[in-house]
């Protein structure tokens, strides 16, 4: 059994599917953790580590935690670690996207490069392993597609046919996405 330091049921289910019957995953609520796990570092690596450390320290269980950010070159790496609350309100994707589009007004297409990066920190016994998944792409000037979540409708991956993540089926996105890639490495390691 291993703990995934998240309350996001969708992420839990996805991971359990990838791990199959060989390893059971429990979310925070399933280990009785109802308090807010601190996530106040200034890097994705720091936040993933902080969440994993918290579970290890308070519950003594092997665990892993993730953090994801969108890094836009023209904005010097923003929103990065602030991706969830860039528009001022946590988890309000419309506001987050509006702020990004506003700040990128007039930036030519060749300078609209960006990437999603996911970091997973695994704490097993006394050892800590970090896994990283990334996908390169561009920020479009307007939204395309209703699928996915977060910044998906304005992110066009380089590997693809011009569609945004918001226009892709979940399986298509997962096959090339930052999170899909980080999770694949974790699963390989755990089942290896």
Stretch that binds ligand ITT, among 7-15, 139-147, 156-164, 183-191 (CB under 6 A): 7-15
Report in angstroms how near the CB of residue 126 gets to ligand ITT at its nearest: 25
Q: Which CB atom, from 126 or from 160, has the smaller least distance to ligand ITT?
A: 160
152 is a catalytic site residue: no
Q: Which of residues 133-192 bind ligand ITT (CB under 6 A)?
A: 148-152, 165, 177, 179
Asked whether the bond before 79 is cis by omega within 30 degrees of 0, the reply is yes
Contact of 157 with 136, CB cutoff 8 Å: yes
Candidates 176, 78, 64; CA nearest to 122 is 64
Determine, following the binding rule CB under 6 A, whether residue 43 of this chain makes contact with ligand ITT. Answer: no
Determine, following the binding rule CB under 6 A, whether residue 84 of this chain makes contact with ligand ITT. Answer: yes
Stretch that binds ligand ITT, among 1-9, 19-27, 54-62, 136-144 (CB under 6 A): 1-9
Q: What's the CA gap between 74 and 52, in Å, rounded?
A: 32
Q: Which CB atom, from 8 or from 111, has the smaller least distance to ligand ITT?
A: 8
For residue 168, report the phi and psi dihedrals to the nearest 5 degrees. Answer: -100, 155
Q: Which CB atom, from 22 or from 160, has the smaller least distance to ligand ITT?
A: 160
Which residue stretches of the chain are H helix? 9-19, 44-59, 93-103, 170-176, 178-191
Q: Which of these is catalytic: 42, 67, 92, 152? A: 67
Q: What angle do CA 45, 93, 5 make, to 5 degrees?
A: 35
């Amino acid at each position: 059994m291993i703990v995934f330091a998240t309350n996001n049921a969708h992420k839990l289910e996805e991971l359990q599917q990838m791990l199959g019957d060989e390893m059971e995953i429990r979310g925070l609520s399933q280990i009785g953790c109802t308090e807010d796990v601190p996530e106040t570092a200034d890097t994705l690596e720091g936040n993933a580590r902080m969440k994993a450390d918290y579970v290890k320290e308070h519950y003594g269980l092997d665990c892993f935690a993730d953090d994801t950010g969108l890094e836009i070159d023209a904005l010097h790496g923003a929103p990065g670690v602030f991706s969830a609350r860039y528009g001022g309100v946590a988890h309000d994707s419309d506001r987050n996207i509006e702020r990004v589009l506003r700040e990128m007004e007039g930036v030519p297409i060749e300078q609209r490069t960006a990437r999603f990066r996911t970091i997973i920190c695994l704490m097993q016994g006394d050892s800590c392993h970090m896994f990283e998944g990334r996908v390169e792409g561009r920020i479009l000037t307007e939204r395309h597609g209703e699928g996915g979540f977060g910044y998906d409708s304005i992110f066009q991956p380089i590997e693809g046919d011009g569609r945004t993540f918001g226009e892709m089926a979940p399986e298509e996105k997962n096959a090339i996405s930052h999170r899909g890639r980080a999770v694949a490495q974790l699963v390989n390691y755990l089942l290896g």
